[in-house]
Homo-oligomer: A and B are copies of this chain.
Amino acid sequence: MSTPDWFGRLAERAQAGPSELSAVLALAGSGGDLVDFSGGFPDPELFDTRLLAELAAKAIETRPEVALQYASNRGLPGLREALRADFARTQSRTPADDELIVTSGGVDAMTLISKAMLDPGDGVLVEAPSYLGAFSVFRSHEGVCVSMRNDEHGLIPASLAEAAADARARGIEPKFAYVIPDFQNPSGLLLSAERRREIVDTARAEGLLVLEDVAYRDLAFDGSTLPSIYELGPDVTVQVGTFSKTFSPGTRLGWAAGPAQVIDAMAQAKTNTDQCAGALGQCMLESLMREGHYARALPHLQRAYGTRAQALMAALDEHVGSMATWTRPAGGFFTWLDVPGVDTKLLAPVAIDAGVAFVPGAPFFADPGAHSQLRLSFSRTPTGRMGEGARRLAAAIGFQRG
């Protein structure tokens, strides 16, 4: 019995072929001698594995009826309480109980808000560049990504109203603007407090929701923070965060905080997605937060990633020099290079041959086109390998330029 051709029976959205993100995730497991600057992965060696092992075992042995059971679609009450207490650490606004949901990571949070907000053909205003995985989520819910404008300081607030008008002129109803203010993915830039305020003012004037992604907010190398967009405009903001960078991606945990009506719709959507976030991970994170370990571990992570950023900057200065320009991040996992005259999509396979991996710039833009930019992630690369990575990258650029 030969298998029928099911491809033609797939949904239209599924016939587009593999996403850029899945190629990146596939690279993660390739290993070998490759210097891998590709994925936005944390380094598990920086986690306190003995403590986490203890917390996992304790959760299972002492609270099996919770840790080994379904959780509420909004998350375990204990973790929600701990999360609300943790907001006070870096933000002046704490969500009320009905303004908070525990998600299965950041991408799940974006899935839930897409299910909650997007009718087919609705618009999402996005930075140019921005996180490619988010585009993919919005589009998989029949959303249309409409580009705002970014400059060397990050998102230009005035472009929010321009993009909204542009969308409406094209018959697209803009539902929310997706913004990553802290150590942005992919640019590494920190958006000024001034621009954050302007974004909130514009969102209020336009009746637009801001989807604020704070994935890297806790990872300023000096531990500092600026006011979040959520703090400045809790009436017009849904903040989504992930614990994949500071706790572990292995338990799929994140959160969303925002107006109760939106959070409520996200909670309903969760029952149709994966029902609830995993209770075992929720129990572990609850202990980690309640016992103070979570906040205490952050300076260690901040210093470690700061050291790696510094090492990569030095390596780029030495090997790449004037062949490219790049951002000098004060936090997070990424630097963003511009290699004038080079289409980085063509550079990528040349670089792999030379033994170095990165993500080319094009997929970080909602509009198609060739791009001379690329993203390097320094989060998983030992400082001692930065030089070799930069040297290989320079060789690939030289080869590509002929």
Q: Could you list which residues of chain A lie within 8 angstroms of chain B, going by C-beta atoms?
A: 1-7, 9-15, 17-19, 21-22, 25-26, 28-29, 39, 41-42, 44-45, 47, 49-50, 52-54, 56-58, 60-61, 64-73, 77, 104-105, 107-108, 111, 115-120, 122, 133, 136-137, 139-140, 142, 175, 207, 209, 233-236, 244, 248-252, 259-262, 265, 267-269, 271-281
Contacts and interface: CB of A to CB of B under 8 A. Distances in A.
B244 A2 contact: no
Contacts of A273: 107-108, 111, 137, 140, 273-274
6 contacts: A1-B235, A3-B235, A25-B271, A39-B70, A69-B250, A140-B273
A261 B10 contact: yes
Contacts of A279: 249-250
Given A68-B250, A115-B11, A278 B275 contact: no
Residue of A54, A60, A107, A133 with most chain B CB atoms under a 10 A cut-off:
A60
Contact of A235 (B2, B10, B12, B281): B2
Residue of A73, A139, A207, A272 with most chain B CB atoms under a 10 A cut-off:
A272
A181 B381 CA distance: 49
- Which 8 A-B residue pairs are closest in the complex by CB-CB distance? A56-B56, A250-B279, A53-B57, A140-B272, A14-B265, A44-B68, A53-B60, A68-B248
Contacts of A140: 115, 269, 272-273
Given A2-B235, A45-B64, A69-B249, A25 B276 contact: yes
Contacts of A251: 278, 280-281
Contact of A11 (B18, B118, B244): B118
Contacts of A272: 19, 107, 111, 133, 136-137, 139-140
A71 B52 CA distance: 18
A79 to B, nearest CB: 13
Nearest to A134: B272
Contacts of A271: 19, 21-22, 25, 107, 133, 136
A116 B13 CA distance: 8
A4 B236 contact: yes
Given A13-B115, A70-B250, A273-B274, 14 more contacts: A3-B261, A9-B207, A11-B122, A14-B269, A19-B271, A21-B271, A44-B64, A44-B69, A45-B65, A47-B68, A53-B58, A53-B61, A140-B272, A252-B276
A240 to B, nearest CB: 13
Contacts of A71: 250
B14 A275 contact: no
B57 A259 contact: no
